[in-house]
Amino acid sequence: MKNRNITGIVVAVIYCIVLYAILIDAPPGEVPNNPLWVYSLIPLGAVVITSLFDYVIKFDFFKKKKK
């Protein structure tokens, strides 16, 4: 896709970083105890966010329209 929505990509990257930080959070000396399906929320959420910005919202904060 040639005209990707940059705002959607930035929001998806921020979502991935924040969710990863939440998922690996555990008390010191312990391993995070999460089911394996929870880690699939990272790429699925990124796909949903980028497609939502590409097809539904269509607002791009970083690209200025030429007049």
Comparing CA positions, the residue from 6, 1, 15, 2 lying closest to residue 60 is: 6
- Rounded to an integer, what distance in angstroms lies between the CA atom of residue 58 and that of residue 51? 10
At residue 1, does pLDDT exceed 60? no
In the prediction, which pLDDT does 58 show? 84
State the angle between helix axes of 41-51 and 6-23 in degrees (0 to 180), rounded to the nearest 10: 160
In the prediction, which pLDDT does 52 show? 93
C-alpha 40, offset from chain centre: 12
Query: Structure tokens of 39?
Result: 């880690």
Average pLDDT across the chain, whole number: 88
Mean pLDDT, range 43-61, rounded to an integer: 91
Whole-model pTM: value is 0.83
In the prediction, which pLDDT does 13 show? 96
Query: Structure tokens of 15?
Result: 């979502």
Mean pLDDT, range 24-52, rounded to an integer: 91
Please give the angle made by the CA atoms of 55, 50 and 9, to the nearest 5 degrees. 130
Domain ranges of the chain: 6-56
